Amino acid sequence: MTHPQATVASPRLRVLVARAAFPDVLARLKDVADVDDTPDDRIETPEGLRLRMRDKHGAFITNSERIDTALLEACPALRVVSTMTVGVDHIDLAACASRGVIVTHTPDVLTETTADLGFGLLLAAARQMADAERYLRAGRWNRWRYDLFAGRDVHGSTLGIIGMGRIGQAIARRAALGFGMQVLYHNRSRLPDAIEQALGAQHRSLDALLTQSHHVLLALPYTPSARHLIGAAELARMQPGATLVNVARGGIVDEIALADALERGHLGAAGLDVFDGEPAVNARLLTAPRVVLTPHIASASIPTRRAMVQLAVDNLCAVLQGQPPLTPVAF
């Protein structure tokens, strides 16, 4: 007598959601996998992350999770890492490539929001808004004075942008069209003539940009060669009273040299949204004059953050369902 062969159910895929995000957007993951989420938004130690990820096929991460060789060796089932960031300096791409792990990120959806904050930092720093607000809140404002928090003009001045990708170009549009600024830029490769003309932007060497700009804004990707690209020598080349704004990565600026330049008065002001070793912030920056500090919030609008989570989820679901990712990172 023969018996019908029992059907063996395919094992469910497993996904780690390493940080809290919008629950309604994350809910889609439960349609394709068993989800180990983190509603309390705790940040795992490297060992804790390895333990939670060791049997997972996919992972939703942010820039607080380091994906390195040690983690990958402990997670042989891992197929895809989807980071809710544009930058991927927290991921060892070579190690992922050697193990066939797909890495995805979230470009494009945060461009305009990041450009808004970058230009906001430029305005706030150049016009000394943060120092002025603290002065007022401390009850120290008791009279008008001709030079009270007299900063530098933004309109009609020269803005030098280092890194002319999507975000750099979005800032250039705001500068040229909205504030009548002359825009200079330095980039790994020169933009096509048509884009330069549309933006009213002129290419310069790094040295020329630093010496010719009233304000310098960093919007370049972080790479090992970019570490401390702006150090003591570069700050000294900037015009006296110039403004430096960083919405790229903290390690691009030598923060000790920056604090020195602010305290000596050579640099007029700085606006920083990113820090070397964040969320820790160098104590020198906390006490330096004429500096505006924000906690890595360039993309922090509700529509943009939702779009970032949605894209990260869509990438993860696509790969786990055997489809190509929407925005893979090129190895």
Mind listing the pLDDT tens digit for each residue in 4-56?
454 444 579 999 999 999 999 999 999 999 999 999 999 999 999 999 999 99
Could you please report the per-residue DSSP string of 5-34?
PPPPPPPPPEEEE-S---HHHHGGGGGTSE
Mind listing the pLDDT tens digit for each residue in 266-321?
999 999 999 999 999 999 999 999 999 999 999 999 999 999 999 999 999 999 99
Which strands form 215-218's sheet, in the order they lie side by side?
Answer: 201-203, 182-186, 158-162, 215-218, 243-246, 269-272, 291-293
Provide CATH code, domain 111-293. 3.40.50.720
**Res 159 pLDDT > 90:** yes
Residue 187 to residue 160: CA distance in whole angstroms: 11
Question: Is 296 noted as a catalytic residue in this protein?
Answer: yes
Residue from 249, 255, 290, 305 carrying the catalytic annotation? 249
Place of tokens 């990820």: 53
Return all residues near 125 (Cβ < 8 A) that are at least 6 apart: 243, 244, 245, 269, 270, 271, 290, 291, 292
Half-sphere exposure (Cβ direction) of 24: Cα atoms closer than 13 Å: 2
Rg (CA), the chain: 23
Would you place residue 331 in the very low, low, confident or very high pLDDT band (cuts 50, 70, 90)?
confident
User: Residue 150: which of 264, 258, 35, 269 has the closest Cα?
Assistant: 269
**Res 2 pLDDT > 80:** no
Q: Domain extents for the chain?
A: 14-109+302-320, 111-293
Q: What is the pTM of this model?
A: 0.92
Identical topology for domains 14-109+302-320 and 111-293: yes
Residue 50 to residue 72: CA distance in whole angstroms: 8
Question: Is 79 noted as a catalytic residue in this protein?
Answer: no
Mind listing the pLDDT tens digit for each residue in 188-217?
999 999 999 999 999 999 999 999 999 999
Residue from 173, 237, 266, 296 carrying the catalytic annotation? 296
User: What is the rounded average pLDDT of the residues 70-90?
Assistant: 97
Structural fold of domain 14-109+302-320: Rossmann fold (3.40.50)
Greatest CA separation found in the chain? 103
Residue 136 to residue 140: CA distance in whole angstroms: 6
Question: Is 234 noted as a catalytic residue in this protein?
Answer: no
Residue from 79, 90, 278, 284 carrying the catalytic annotation? 278
